């Protein structure tokens, strides 16, 4: 079973909380990450919006490169580097925006780029509890 990474591929962190009505068909891809097989980003966004959930898109693109002659294994390593390079480990989704296989002086390499995405019920990014429940000490430092 090959797991091709192309533009628009979605990877979701294993254990991500989703609405009960949404069923994602996923295959394991990396440790703690799964490749979504049945939905693209626009379809997933529509289904989440329909049940009042949010699918955040981060504007900054994350890039990585890996050298190797086996295209699938090299792409796998590059995706692993992209996930490691994401600025926050709190994002639970990654949308692949670019995959490029080239060579330099006869050495084949793959460049992969993606945008961190985040699925959650709240309209506010990473907003897990109501403001009234915030610790007063935390509010004083903000």
Average pLDDT of span 52-56: 87
H helix or E strand, kind and range, residue 98 = strand 93-104
Above pLDDT 70, what percent of the chain? 83
Structure tokens at 53: 């959930």
Q: pLDDT (tens digit, 9 = 90+) per residue, 84-117?
A: 998 777 789 999 999 999 999 999 999 999 999 9
Structure tokens at 128: 């897990």
pLDDT-wise least confident of 24-33, 86-95, 101-110, 133-142: 133-142
User: What ranges do the domains of the chain cover?
Assistant: 10-141
Task: Return the bridge partners of 118, or none.
Answer: 56
**In 98-132, which positions are buried (b, 16+ CB within 10 angstroms) versus exposed (e)?**
ebeeeeeeeeebbbbbbbbbbbbeeeeeeeeeeee
- Measured CA to CA, the distance from residue 39 to residue 44 in angstroms comes to 6
């Amino acid at each position: 079973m090959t797991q091709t990474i192309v533009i628009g591929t979605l990877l979701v962190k294993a254990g991500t909380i989703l609405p009960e009505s949404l069923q994602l068909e996923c295959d394991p891809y990396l440790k703690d990450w799964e490749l979504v097989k049945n939905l693209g980003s626009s379809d997933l966004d529509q289904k989440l919006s329909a049940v009042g959930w949010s699918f955040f898109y981060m504007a900054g693109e994350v890039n990585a490169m890996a050298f190797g002659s086996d295209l699938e294994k090299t792409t796998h390593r590059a995706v692993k580097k992209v996930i490691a390079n994401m600025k926050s480990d709190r994002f639970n989704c990654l949308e692949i925006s670019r995959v490029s296989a080239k060579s330099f002086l006869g050495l084949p390499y793959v460049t992969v780029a993606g945008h961190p995405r985040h699925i959650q019920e709240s309209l506010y990014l990473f907003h897990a509890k109501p403001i009234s429940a915030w610790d007063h000490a935390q509010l004083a430092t903000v």
